Amino acid sequence: MKNRITVIGAGGHAKVIISLLRLKGLEIDKILDDNPALYGTRLDGSIISGPVDTENIATSGIIAIGNNLARFRVSERLEAVNYGSFQHPTAFVDDSVEIGDGTIVMAGAVVQTGSKIGDHVIINSGAVVEHDCFVDDYCHVGPNATLAGGVAVKSGVFVGAGTTVIEGVSIGTWTKIGAGACVVNHLPAHCTAVGVPAKPIKFQYE
């Protein structure tokens, strides 16, 4: 059973994760989702069933949901699951890097020396996490985003595709940064920031 894994979530992000898992030689045990309309249908050849419940997971699991808050809520429901962490064969992750449970490092991503990545994090395709960065739980570093050295990204942060965060900057919890932004100053928690340089345009609390 150790080479089988349950995928939790049946959207587009799940398709990418399934591809990664198969490249790693793993077999998909099942795909779980809470949408009954999907039950009995297939995603990349594997049957979707449900609901998302610990009793339906007899193997290791991975939460294949791109939305940070949704991923957090599912993990809270499934605390007893044994979560694996996986790196695409084309990703580079330095041997010194600490990576938490349930974290995915996608194709072409780079995570450099001294960095620490938390639980249930997505380092998406082509993203760069430079030396000595800290990326906390439930974050998503989008495709081709770059965190320069010593960046601290607090829990639940979304870094949009193509965003650049300069060295030493801190980003507060559950903040969202729009695609293509350039973050040159610290950002507070629970805001949406966009632009060059990135500035908060609204705050949200959930």
Cβ–Cβ < 8 Å for 93, 70: no
Please give, one letter per residue, the 3-state secondary structure of 138-187: CCEECCCCEECCCCEECCCCEECCCCEECCCCEECCCCEECCCCEECCCE
User: Residues 122, 107, 149, CA angle at the centre, nearest 5°?
Assistant: 60
**52-88 burial, b if ≥16 CB within 10 A, otherwise e?**
beeeebebbbbbbbbebeebbebbeebeebebbbbbb
**Known active-site residue 186:** no
Residue from 13, 88, 120, 131 carrying the catalytic annotation? 131
Distance of CA 93 to the CA centre of its chain: 15
Cα–Cα dist 82/138, whole Å = 16
**Catalytic site residues?**
131
